[in-house]
Structures are given as C-alpha cells and as structure tokens.
Amino acid sequence: MELTPRADALLSKPLYEFQNYKRNVQNRSQLTIDEYLLDLRIFFKFIKAVRDDLEPTDEVFEKIDLRECDYGFMESVTPDEIYDYLSYLRNDRNISARSAQRKLSAVKSLYKFATVTGKIKNNPARDIDHSASKKTLPKYMTLTESEDLLNTINAEKDSKTKLRDYAIILTFLNTGMRLSELVSINMEDFDRDFTSLIVTGKRSKQRTVYINDAVKDAIYAYRDSLSEEQKAVTDPKSKSRHPVFLSNRNSRISNKTVQWLVHKHLVDAGLGYKQLSTHKLRHTAATLMYREGGVDVRVLQDILGHEQLNTTQIYTHVASSDMEKAVHKNPLAHFKPDESSNNNDDE
C-alpha cells in the first residue's frame, strides 16, 4: 500500500516522537502537526539526496526511506546543509520567503525538541536566522579554478582512469549535465556527427545536449584507450546500448563512483575547501556560460533543461553580485569628500 506523506514521515523515529511531543505536551492540533511533518519530511529527504549527490526531485524523494533518518542522522546535519536546504527551497522549488521561514521554523522546532529532551547534544539549526531563508546564490567554481581542476587531472601520472575522469569532469563543465544524465548516456545517444546527444532528465523528459570539440575530443580519447572488449560492454537492460563511461569492473559507471572521483580531483586541485559536488559542477557550467560566454538566459534555460525561467535566472543574480563587488574594488573607492571646507563663510 502506498504511504501518505504523513505516514511516510512517521517512519522516522525523531519525527514520530516529535509528533507525540507536539500533540501531548504542547497540545497542538493535528493539522498543525501534519504541516510540520510534511515540511520536515522534505528536509530529511533533501539532506539524504544531496549527500548521495542525487538530484533533489520529487521522484528521488519518493525512493528515500526515512527510517534511516534517526537521531544520529539529525545530529550529523551541518549548518551549511541547512543553508543549502533553504537555498533549494527558494531557488529550485520557488517558494516565497514567508513559506521558507515557516519551513525553517519547523526545522528549528524539531532540533529544539531533540536537544531539550536530550536526544541529541548539538543543534546545527540554533544560530540560523530567519533572514537566511531569502534567495541565496549557488556555489560554483571560477574560470581559473575550473582550469586548475582540469590541469590537475591532465598532470596526473600513472593513473589508469585519467582519460575517463578528465572526460567526465570536462563534460560536466561544458554541458551542465546532471549526474544522473551523465552516467546514463550511451554511445547510441550521440548523433552521426558526434555533435549532440539525447539525454533523459527530470520526469523522464528528453532534451538535446550539444557538445563542443573539447568534449568530443576528450570522449574520443577515452574511448580509444579502451580495449575492444571494453568497447563492446552493453547495458544489462538493453544489449543494444553501450555505456559511454565504464567503471573499473567494466560496467556502467555508478553515481557514487562519479561522486568519489569528482571529490578526489577537487581535493587534489586544492579546491576541497569549497565543498563542491557534481551538482555544483552543473552550477559552474551555467555560471561560466552566462558570465564568460554571454549566453542568453533563455538559451541557458534550454541547455540546463529547466522548466521554469526563474530557476535559470539565479545565474543572472550571480553576475549582478560580481558587478556589485567590482564597484567596491575600484581603486578610487576609498576617496571621501573633504568636509572641512564646508564652514560658515561669515565667520
């Protein structure tokens, strides 16, 4: 039997006990409690999805088992993850600031309950202000950092996966593909001239992704390095489909392997401190196309496969933020008017 959102939420021990606390101790109505549970269900599932580097969509959420979200999981959540959750609500789900504040209140209420009752010791939501629910800018790499990452991989010696890893990260940075889209592509998805391919995105929606010569050359170099046996590897679900990127076991590369290799190379490039992920590489691609390439925001919307234009417009805010910072870095920004001459001439 399919679970209702409320029943799904109550699979989590913290949420089940939180419901009882709200009802029996604070005497809240079931309607109010249900609103809390629905908000907290999304919060837990978002954290789980992001940690697995999955696209935080409703389809992904439905596959996440909340029984794994115990008090240990609650205490492991960081303030940065809560900020990312608020950013997701405003930027991806396009909810109002007022609704975001309500959802943050639910998170803060849950953590207050858990700490007051001694279930957990640390409260990551304690110092997060309601003003944090305003729209925030996505994390991304600069052009120089992106170049450093690619050059770091290129400079590796004695790496059996160098060409594969380079092709994967270059594809992320040039196309803005989602992780699920990249690992799913097959050689048969490309057109005859190898200039575009069909990917399947959210809600099984297909779109055309164009590739440039850099991506084309990188994939060619990687595929040419494979043995004939490796090139012949097919997808178990469809023997007529040949996965582009393979694992060390000569099967389609998994999400977790791509997550791991991206993290490894970011650390090797000295970028581990930025706490980036495969999804942040998608943000980087979009930001660089808009800022450095001058790509129109509506074209960028189609490239990324966004259904709503306002989801894409976050990258225009990134550019605006940079312009504001640039004004303050002007070498003449320190000049001030001399107010000493503004005295009374009659004296």
Strand, coil or helix: what is 127? coil
Give the span between the Cα atoms of 93 and 324, in whole angstroms.
Answer: 27
Strand, coil or helix: what is 55? coil
**Catalytic residue among 45, 48, 283, 306, which?**
306
Q: Among this protein's residues, is 178 annotated catalytic? A: yes
Distances (CA, A) of 269 to 131, 140, 260, 278: 34, 15, 14, 15
Alpha helices in the chain (DSSP H): 5-9, 13-20, 30-51, 58-61, 71-76, 79-91, 97-116, 143-154, 162-175, 179-184, 213-224, 228-231, 255-268, 278-291, 297-304, 309-312, 314-328
Nearest Cα residue to 261 out of 177, 143, 159, 174: 159
**Catalytic residue among 36, 88, 166, 315, which?**
315
Name the residue type at position 277: S
**Catalytic residue among 178, 265, 280, 283, which?**
178
**Catalytic residue among 22, 279, 280, 283, which?**
279
- Residues 53 and 178 sit within 8 Å (Cβ to Cβ): no
Q: Among this protein's residues, is 315 annotated catalytic? A: yes
Nearest Cα residue to 180 out of 30, 305, 1, 79: 305
Through-space distance between the first and last CA atoms of the chain, rounded to whole angstroms: 91
Give the span between the Cα atoms of 305 and 200, in whole angstroms.
Answer: 10
**How would you class 240 by CB atoms within 10 Å of its CB: exposed for 0-12, middle for 13-18, buried for 19 or more?**
exposed
**Catalytic residue among 280, 282, 283, 290, which?**
282
Q: Among this protein's residues, is 220 annotated catalytic? A: no
Please name every residue paired with 199 in a beta bridge, in sequence order, or none if there are none: 207
**Catalytic residue among 135, 162, 202, 274, which?**
202
Q: Among this protein's residues, is 202 annotated catalytic? A: yes
By annotation, the residues acting in catalysis are 178, 202, 279, 282, 306, 315
